[in-house]
Amino acid sequence: MDFEQRRWLSWVKKNGSVFLSSRDEYKAKFILHLRCLRLTDEEIGKVMDAEEPPYSLARIPNIIGRPVGLPLDAGMVTVEPVLQIEIEDARAEAGLLLLRANGKIGI
Residue 97 lies inside a defined structural domain of this protein: no
Judged against a pLDDT cut of 90, whether residue 63 lies above it is answered with: yes
Judged against a pLDDT cut of 80, whether residue 45 lies above it is answered with: yes
**Residue 105's beta-bridge partner residues?**
100
Residue 6 lies inside a defined structural domain of this protein: yes
The parent domain of residue 40 ranges over 2-81
Residue 63 lies inside a defined structural domain of this protein: yes
Gap between the Cα atoms of 7 and 48, Å rounded? 10
Residue 39 lies inside a defined structural domain of this protein: yes
Residue 87 lies inside a defined structural domain of this protein: no
User: 41 pLDDT band (50/70/90 cuts)?
Assistant: very high
Residue 99 lies inside a defined structural domain of this protein: no
Q: What is the mean pLDDT of the chain?
A: 75
| Sign, CA torsion 51/55/59/65 | positive
What domain count does the chain have? 1
Residues sharing a CB contact under 8 Å with residue 26, sequence separation 6 or more, in sequence order: 53
Label residue 13 exposed, middle or buried (CB < 10 Å: 0-12, 13-18, 19+).
exposed
Residue 93 lies inside a defined structural domain of this protein: no
pLDDT of residue 43: 96
Residue 8 lies inside a defined structural domain of this protein: yes
